[in-house]
């Protein structure tokens, strides 16, 4: 698939990035996306970043300072030369095999090339990882409430077997290698979760809109904040109104997905729990070593090894 670029965004979490890239390599993604179409943008780039990029045969770019997600996103998209672009933060592991990836990409390209959708969500439906912020704590309560205004309707497929039935056939359906649900940005808000899109759409619709806010965005939430809260900016001026109008027609598709969110490294998690267990055992040892043990008519103090008659 020579017409797809994947752009990674990373900042300092070396072990998480390596875990992600390792899953992409081992599950065949790098067989499908050529070296020249794999690029990592590093915030506060350093020698460790460069070493990782070279280890996984990826191109790299970066900034000495943290320029924020919005600016880094603009850099990645603006420099993309292929027809399609995947945006991937450094904590989305590939959890499907090469065959599934290829069939999913074929579906996605068909959906985009036929103008059925503008954004293809690639986060896994049944194994999305944690956290999934849209998922209700109590699904049974959620099911009996009015969800007509729920803004993450496509994401509900992670806990609904038939989301289209629940939402009264709101979604357009596409049957390719897999089943896909399609709706507007009104019913599924923008998310920075891994996605695939036409590069031309991003350059002509998304980038001009987010550039409008380039001087006032927050480093960490700026991109998502602009693209989820765009309605509050309507009426500020004619140029912005036009950009918002274009963006408000965006359609998003979601299927079975490929990638799981995992923002920690398994080895570190194992070390953490082992350390906690050892601390508990040490505490118990200390506790029991200070408790007097009764033996018949004696009290034995284990620390000073003395006995006292009652």
Taking residues 39-60, report their average pLDDT.
Answer: 98
Q: State how far the Cα of 250 lies from the Cα of 247, in Å rounded to an integer.
A: 5
* Mean predicted confidence (pLDDT) in 212-232: 80
Strand partners, 261: 92, 129
The fold of 4-261 is Spore Coat Polysaccharide Biosynthesis Protein SpsA; Chain A (3.90.550)
Mean pLDDT of 223-234: 92
Evaluate whether 113 touches 200 at the Cβ level (below 8 Å).
Answer: no
CB 175 within 8 A of CB 185: no
- The structure's pTM equals 0.84
Contacts (Cβ under 8 Å, ≥6 apart) of 278 = none
Name the residue with tokens 């896994």: 124
Q: What is the pLDDT of residues 94-127, one digit of tens each?
A: 999 999 999 999 999 999 999 999 999 999 999 9
Closest C-alpha to 96, from 276, 291, 257: 257
Segment 188-216, tens digit of pLDDT: 999 999 999 999 999 999 999 999 888 76
CB 116 within 8 A of CB 174: yes
DSSP label at 37?
G
pLDDT band at 258 (very low <50, low <70, confident <90, very high): very high
Where do the domains of the chain lie?
4-261, 277-309
pLDDT, residue 144, reads: 97
Does the structure show a pLDDT above 90 at 135?
yes
Helix runs in 56-97, H state only: 68-78
Q: What is the pLDDT of residue 1?
A: 81
- Amino acid 269: pLDDT: 46
Q: Name the DSSP letter for residue 129.
A: B
Q: Buried (b) or exposed (e) across 1-31, using 16+ Cβ within 10 A? A: beebbbbbbbbeeeebbebbbebbbebbbbe
Q: 30 — phi, psi (to 5°)?
A: -75, -15
- Collapse the DSSP code of 36 into the 3-class scheme (helix H, G, I; strand E, B; otherwise coil) and give the result: helix
Place 305 in a pLDDT band, splitting at 50, 70 and 90. very low
First-last CA distance in the chain? 85
- Other Cβ atoms less than 10 A from the Cβ of 213: the count is 18
Contacts of 219 (CB under 8 A, 6+ apart): 66, 67, 68, 69
CA–CA distance, 135 with 156 (Å, rounded to integer): 7
Tokens of 120: 């293809």
């Amino acid at each position: 698939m020579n017409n797809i670029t994947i752009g990674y965004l990373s900042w300092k979490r070396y072990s998480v990035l390596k875990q992600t890239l390792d899953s992409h390599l081992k599950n065949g993604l790098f067989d499908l996306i050529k070296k020249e179409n794999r690029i990592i943008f590093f915030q506060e780039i350093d020698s460790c970043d460069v070493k990782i990029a070279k280890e996984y045969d990826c191109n790299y770019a970066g900034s000495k300072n943290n320029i924020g997600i919005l600016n880094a996103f603009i850099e990645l998209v603006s420099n993309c030369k292929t027809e399609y672009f995947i945006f991937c933060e450094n904590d989305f592991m590939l959890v499907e095999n090469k065959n599934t990836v290829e069939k999913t990409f074929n579906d996605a390209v068909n959906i985009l090339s036929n103008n059925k959708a503008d954004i293809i969500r690639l986060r896994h439906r049944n194994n999305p990882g944690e956290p999934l912020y849209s998922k209700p704590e109590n699904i049974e309560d959620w099911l009996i409430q009015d969800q007509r205004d729920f803004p993450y309707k496509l994401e509900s497929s992670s806990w609904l077997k038939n989301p289209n039935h629940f939402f009264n056939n709101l979604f357009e359906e596409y049957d390719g290698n897999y089943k896909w649900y399609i709706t507007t940005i009104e019913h599924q808000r923008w998310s920075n979760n891994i996605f695939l899109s036409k590069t031309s759409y991003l350059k002509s619709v998304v980038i001009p809109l987010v550039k409008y806010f380039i001087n006032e965005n927050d480093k960490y939430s700026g991109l998502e904040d602009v693209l989820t809260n765009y309605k509050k900016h309507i009426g500020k001026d004619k140029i912005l109104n036009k950009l918002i109008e274009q963006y408000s027609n965006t359609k998003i598709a979601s299927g079975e997905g490929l990638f799981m969110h995992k923002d920690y490294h398994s080895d570190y998690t194992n070390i953490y729990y082992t350390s906690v267990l050892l601390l508990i055992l040490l505490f118990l040892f200390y506790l029991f070593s200070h408790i007097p043990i009764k033996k018949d008519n004696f009290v034995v103090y284990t620390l000073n090894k003395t006995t006292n008659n009652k």
